[in-house]
């Protein structure tokens, strides 16, 4: 029987939650990197022992952590000679991410412009999302703030910006959402290794079909009433994008407002919010075996980041959107005012698909039956920033 490993990044460290295929009795390990923000932690789909984690601190900067034994031990790839891996405090931040200022356009990208016309320098702050390669455990992509895409082909020892993204023309017009100008979503197409989708808050979604040399905005059909041109090519606050591996041309999006769908690899989008009680939210994911089954967690509004009426509820659509049903059995239905962030929902690939999400209140919930029933795996963690799942043999 397969086992499940749930990787949880929080405001104050990382945790690893493990169970067998029944998903009833859980072991909790951690915190790893206690006191540090772990924006994202994710395992390799081709090497179950390989895990990458983004460790960051306002005092000590950004560090990448890598485990080659399922989280038992960790190392900082690229640790300077003479510095003990894991030393506290670190003498210097490892895994330095340096923007390619020449970019693909050949023009220096030194500033970006906000709607008020002011110019702001590009400044590296943190890694928001790590996406291991579908084929090579040594290759991993990183989405960072200020928004850029990096790639390492040596397990995080060295990083190179995929500069075609910022350099394709609209980069100087990107600007931050409320949480920063972050590249937070990276989708790799299993049928075409040269195709990558990314999303940026607040710029929109983009796609490359040539491994990152060139990019195009894919935001046609998005409408954002809070920007000067509501149908602009870029400037939309996309919160998260998702797809099913079997249909990489079908994309789903949780926008600042609106749940959206594309059936043509992002060339056009249509709204599928349907009968949701509110279509503001952050997380969206797809059932492991049913490409038309989606999950979202509606949040009351962009100014009130908590569930409607204080009732924590996951909504599921079995039709790829438009028609939604509430899933609340086992979830708090009174006085619950937590949020579920963009990377804090995931699914496993067991025969009965499990669904998981974490909250800013420190709870991690699991459903072993595709959302029908829920129970907390653990309570009272620091605020959860990310949840990822590995299904192990």
Which pair of structure tokens corresponds to residue 125? 């702050």
Q: What is the mean pLDDT of the chain?
A: 92
196 or 2, greater pLDDT: 196
SS3 151: strand
74: left (phi over 0), alpha (psi -120 to 50) or beta: beta
Residue 368 and residue 377 in contact, taking contact as beta carbons nearer than 8 Å: no
pLDDT at residue 273 greater than cutoff 90: yes
Q: Distance between CA 236 and CA 15 in Å, rounded? A: 33
Q: Is it true that the peptide bond before 167 is cis, omega within 30 degrees of 0?
A: no
Among 364, 372, 318, 373, which residue's Cα sits nearest to residue 345?
A: 364
Give the phi and the psi of residue 384 in degrees, each rounded to 5: -85, 125
Query: Which secondary-structure segment (H or E) carries 390?
Result: strand 384-392
Task: Tell me which residue has tokens 């190392």.
Answer: 75
What are 20's strand-pairing partners? 3
Is the pTM above the cut of 0.85?
A: yes
SS3 9: strand
* C-alpha distances out from residue 295 to 24, 99, 282, 326, Å: 22, 35, 11, 10
DSSP string, 280-313: B-S-EEE-SS-TT-EEE--BS-SSS-S-GGG---
Q: Distance between CA 177 and CA 115 in Å, rounded? A: 12
Q: What is the pLDDT of residue 238?
A: 97
At residue 315 the predicted structure's pLDDT band, cuts being 50, 70 and 90, is: very high
Region 193-203 average pLDDT: 96
Q: Distance between CA 337 and CA 306 in Å, rounded? A: 5
pLDDT at residue 184 greater than cutoff 60: yes
Q: What is the pLDDT of residue 208?
A: 98
* C-alpha distances out from residue 278 to 47, 266, 273, 286, Å: 39, 24, 8, 19
Residue 151 and residue 164 in contact, taking contact as beta carbons nearer than 8 Å: no
* Residue 263, number of CB atoms within 10 A of its CB: 14
Q: What is the pLDDT of residue 57?
A: 85
Among 165, 362, 345, 353, which residue's Cα sits nearest to residue 254?
A: 345
Region 345-370 average pLDDT: 97
State what percent of residues in the chain have pLDDT above 90. Answer: 79
Cα R_g (the chain), whole angstroms: 20
pLDDT at residue 356 greater than cutoff 80: yes
Q: Which fold has domain 52-351?
A: Methylamine Dehydrogenase; Chain H (2.130.10)
120 or 375, greater pLDDT: 375
């Amino acid at each position: 029987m397969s086992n499940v490993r749930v990787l949880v990044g929080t405001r104050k460290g990382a945790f690893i939650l493990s169970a067998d295929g029944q998903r009833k009795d859980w072991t909790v390990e951690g915190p790893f990197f206690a006191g540090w923000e772990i924006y994202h932690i994710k395992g390799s789909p081709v090497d179950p022992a390989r895990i990458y984690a983004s460790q960051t601190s306002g005092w000590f900067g950004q560090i990448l952590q890598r485990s080659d034994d399922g989280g038992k031990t960790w190392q900082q790839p690229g640790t300077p000679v003479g510095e003990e891996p894991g030393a506290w405090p670190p003498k210097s931040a490892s895994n330095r991410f340096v923007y390619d200022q020449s970019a693909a356009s050949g023009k220096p990208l030194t500033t970006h412009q906000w709607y008020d016309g002011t110019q702001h320098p590009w400044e590296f702050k943190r890694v928001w999302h790590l996406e291991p390669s579908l084929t090579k455990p040594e290759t991993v992509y990183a989405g960072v703030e200020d928004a850029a895409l990096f790639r390492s082909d040596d397990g995080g020892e060295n990083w190179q910006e995929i500069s075609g993204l910022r350099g394709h023309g609209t980069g100087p017009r990107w600007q931050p959402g409320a949480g920063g100008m972050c590249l937070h979503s990276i989708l790799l197409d299993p049928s075409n290794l040269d195709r990558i989708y990314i999303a940026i808050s607040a710029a929109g979604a983009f796609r490359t079909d040539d491994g990152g040399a060139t990019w195009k905005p894919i935001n046609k059909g998005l409408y954002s009433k809070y920007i000067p041109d509501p149908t602009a090519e870029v400037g939309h606050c996309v919160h998260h994008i998702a797809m099913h591996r079997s249909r990489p041309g079908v994309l789903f999006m949780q926008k600042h407002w609106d749940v959206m769908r594309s059936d043509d690899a992002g060339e056009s989008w249509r709204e599928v919010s349907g009968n949701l009680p509110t279509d503001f939210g952050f997380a969206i994911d797809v059932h492991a075996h049913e490409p038309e089954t989606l999950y979202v967690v509606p949040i009351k509004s962009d100014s009130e980041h908590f569930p409607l009426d204080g009732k924590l509820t996951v909504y599921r659509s079995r039709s790829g959107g438009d028609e939604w049903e509430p899933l609340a059995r086992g979830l708090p239905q009174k006085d619950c005012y937590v949020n579920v962030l963009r990377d804090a929902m995931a699914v496993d690939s067991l025969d009965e698909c499990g669904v998981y999400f974490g909250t800013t209140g420190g709870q991690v919930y699991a459903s072993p039956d595709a959302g029908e029933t829920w129970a907390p795996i653990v309570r009272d963690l620091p605020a959860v920033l990310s949840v990822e799942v590995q299904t192990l043999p």
